[in-house]
């Protein structure tokens, strides 16, 4: 979708301001804005790509149907980290279990959507846009949330994606370019001393009245990239933490998020991804490693946030595009399924089990039936945490799940 001239000017306004202005003035502005943002709530999204086996994450360990369906993959009762007399965590999810014990984890069960699609890509797009393929999908749910938040208060970087791969559709906004940052160290423009950044900036942002929508997109993205890289270099150099994060990709990403939150950057939404949940074969070892990675990184992240006094204002959502088939396949793995639990973490979350475990005696084509739409969770987050109105963002009315402690 081409930007209108007004939208384009709005996009490049922060850029124009920095260009030509002296650095101290810009820093003073950023610091001023930061003070105002100091106590705003922040949402961190962890996308577990590939389809997490919810049934082996939150396990109905007393259920006979579960054991019958999972002859090699069922978690032994002795190893279960018990949540109650029916349900317990996979032993590798001890990080999640610790958070639950500290009342900092909400487990929202039985999440899905009607007519579930079992393609990774289509199902992910449904989660990202809240719409089906047959509908027009120009933007994502977080992109729409950003657009709405920017109306009330302009922020330089309302949302940020960690990583350098394809940006999640959820973050696509009609008017804002969300930066992707793989690592703070690499997120800078390397120049020779002979060169000047302002030459590059002025040629990039030079007005091109005849430009196509694609050229316009590249132009505004380049402008954002240079602008944000300068700002990040300026504000993130002083961070220290005593928390040891696991040496995993997710651990490193969440550490960067903690650093950016502490830098008092105005960002309200962070998005990170962890891959590998598509366990069609030899699932046991892979799933164990993944649950350990998620639990370990998340638990370190929350500790770190607390140590820097941000624990009360950060909520983390962990989701996957679908769960997995109840019955395991002959490759000691599981095929694509439907309903699964998602996780909410943070000091303020409505901790404990939310909603009941899906019924193993009432399957649909071998898959669990969902009882809560994922958009009800989004509605809760938008309304109770980000203080936005969910209806437009979600393209409909969804009864919010209570995500925040009452």
Partner 1 sequence: MIDPAWAWSPYEPGQNSWTRRQAAHLFRRAGFAASSEELDKAITQKPSELVSSLVNNRPETDEYQQEVSDLARSVLATADVKKLPAWWTYRFLTTNDPLREKTTLFWHGHFATSGDKVTDAKLMFQQNEMLREHALGDFGAMVHEISHDPAMLIYLDSATNRKAHPNENFAREVMELFCLGEGQYTENDIRELSRCFTGWEIRNGKFRFNRYQHDSGEKSIMGKKGKYGGEEGVKIVLDQKSAPYFIIGKLVRYFVADEPTPSNALLKPLADQFVDGNYQIGPIISKILSSNLFYSEHSVGHKVRSPIEFAVGFLRALNGSTNLNELTNGMSELGQIPFFPPNVKGWDGGRTWINSSTLLARANLIRNLLDRKETRFNQGSLGDFMDHLGAKSPAEIVESWEELYLAVDLPQEVKNQIANKVESGKGNREQKLRDALHLFCTLPEFQLS
Q: Which positions touch partner 1 (CB under 8 A)?
A: 49, 117-122, 133, 161, 163-167, 177, 179-182, 186-192, 194-195, 199-200, 202-204, 206, 208, 211-212, 214-215, 217-219, 221-222, 224-226, 228-229, 275, 278, 280-282, 327-331, 333, 335-336, 365
Q: Alpha helices of 236-282 — where are they, by DSSP H?
A: 249-262
Both tokens assigned to 126: 């449904």
3-state secondary structure of 46: strand
Nearer to partner 1, 280 or 371 (CB): 280
Q: Which residue has the tokens 């409505």?
A: 350
Q: Which residue has the tokens 């946030």?
A: 305
Q: How far is the CB of 356 from partner 1 (least distance, A)?
A: 25
Both tokens assigned to 172: 């696509």
Q: Are 379 and 357 in contact (CB under 8 A)?
A: no
With both helix axes pointing from N to C terminus, report the angle between 5-18 and 197-205 in degrees, rounded to the nearest 10. 170
Q: How far is the CB of 73 from partner 1 (least distance, A)?
A: 12
**Which residues in 173-326 belong to E strands, given as ranges?**
180-181, 269-274, 314-319
Q: How far is the CB of 141 from partner 1 (least distance, A)?
A: 18
Nearer to partner 1, 177 or 255 (CB): 177
Q: How far is the CB of 270 from partner 1 (least distance, A)?
A: 14
Q: Which residue has the tokens 């490693």?
A: 289
Nearer to partner 1, 53 or 98 (CB): 53
Q: How far is the CB of 283 from partner 1 (least distance, A)?
A: 10
Q: How far is the CB of 33 from partner 1 (least distance, A)?
A: 20
Please enumerate in sequence order all residues whose Cβ is within 8 A of that of 184, keeping only pairs 6 or more positions apart, or say none: 232, 233, 236, 256, 259
Please enumerate in sequence order all residues whose Cβ is within 8 A of that of 346, keeping only pairs 6 or more positions apart, or say none: 104, 302, 311, 314, 315, 316
User: How far is C-alpha 375 from the geometric centre of its chain's CA atoms?
Assistant: 15
What are residue 146's phi and psi, to 5 degrees? -60, -50
Nearer to partner 1, 100 or 269 (CB): 269
| Cα–Cα nearest to 393, from 157, 140, 44 | 140
Q: How far apart are CA 159 and CA 260, in angstroms?
A: 11
Nearer to partner 1, 178 or 377 (CB): 178
Q: How far apart are CA 296 and CA 308, in angstroms?
A: 19
Nearer to partner 1, 217 or 239 (CB): 217
Nearer to partner 1, 275 or 392 (CB): 275
Q: How far is the CB of 377 from partner 1 (least distance, A)?
A: 25
Q: How far is the CB of 222 from partner 1 (least distance, A)?
A: 5
Nearer to partner 1, 229 or 350 (CB): 229
3-state secondary structure of 308: coil
Q: How far is the CB of 164 from partner 1 (least distance, A)?
A: 4
Please enumerate in sequence order all residues whose Cβ is within 8 A of that of 348, keeping only pairs 6 or more positions apart, or say none: 312, 315, 404, 405
Nearer to partner 1, 199 or 392 (CB): 199
Q: Which residue has the tokens 């208060």?
A: 153
Q: How far apart are CA 52 and CA 38, in angstroms?
A: 35
Nearer to partner 1, 94 or 329 (CB): 329
Q: How far is the CB of 197 from partner 1 (least distance, A)?
A: 10
| Cα–Cα nearest to 56, from 93, 83, 96 | 93
Q: How far is the CB of 46 from partner 1 (least distance, A)?
A: 18
Nearer to partner 1, 85 or 190 (CB): 190
Q: Alpha helices of 236-329 — where are they, by DSSP H?
A: 249-262, 283-307
């Amino acid at each position: 979708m081409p930007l209108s001239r007004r939208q384009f000017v709005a996009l490049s306004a922060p850029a124009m301001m920095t260009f030509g202005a002296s650095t101290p003035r810009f820093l003073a502005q950023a610091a001023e804005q930061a003070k105002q943002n100091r106590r705003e709530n922040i949402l961190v999204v962890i996308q577990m790509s590939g389809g997490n086996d919810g049934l082996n994450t939150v396990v109905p360990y007393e259920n006979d149907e579960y054991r019958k369906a999972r002859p090699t993959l069922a978690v032994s009762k002795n190893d279960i980290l018990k949540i109650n007399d029916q349900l317990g965590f996979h032993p590798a999810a001890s990080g999640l279990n610790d958070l639950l014990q500290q009342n900092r984890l909400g487990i929202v069960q039985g999440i899905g959507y009607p007519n579930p699609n079992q393609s990774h890509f289509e199902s992910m797009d449904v989660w990202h846009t809240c719409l089906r393929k047959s509908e027009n999908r120009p933007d994502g749910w977080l992109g729409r949330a950003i657009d709405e938040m920017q109306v009330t208060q302009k922020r330089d970087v309302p949302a940020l994606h960690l990583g350098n791969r394809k940006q999640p559709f959820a973050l696509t906004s009609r008017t804002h370019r969300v930066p992707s940052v793989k690592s703070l160290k690499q997120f800078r423009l390397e120049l020779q001393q002979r060169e000047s950044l302002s030459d590059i900036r002025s040629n990039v942002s030079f007005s091109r009245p005849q430009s196509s929508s694609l050229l316009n997109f590249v132009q505004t993205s380049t402008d954002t990239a240079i602008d944000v890289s300068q700002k990040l270099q300026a504000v993130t150099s002083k961070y220290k933490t005593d928390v040891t994060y696991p040496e995993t990709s997710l651990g490193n990403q969440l550490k960067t998020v903690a650093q950016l939150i502490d830098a008092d950057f105005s960002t309200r939404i962070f998005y990170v991804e962890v891959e590998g949940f598509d366990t069609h074969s030899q699932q046991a070892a892979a799933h164990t490693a993944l649950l350990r990675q998620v639990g370990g990184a998340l638990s370190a992240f929350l500790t770190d946030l607390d140590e820097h006094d941000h624990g009360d204002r950060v909520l983390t959502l962990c989701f996957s595009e679908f769960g997995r088939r109840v019955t395991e396949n002959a490759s000691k793995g599981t095929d694509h399924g439907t309903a699964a639990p998602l996780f909410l973490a943070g000091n303020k979350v409505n901790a404990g089990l939310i909603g009941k475990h899906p019924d193993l005696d009432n399957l649909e084509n071998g898959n669990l039936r969902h009882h809560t739409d994922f958009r009800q969770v989004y509605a809760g987050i938008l309304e109770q945490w980000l203080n936005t109105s969910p209806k437009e963002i979600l393209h409909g009315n969804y009864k919010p799940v209570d995500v925040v402690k009452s």
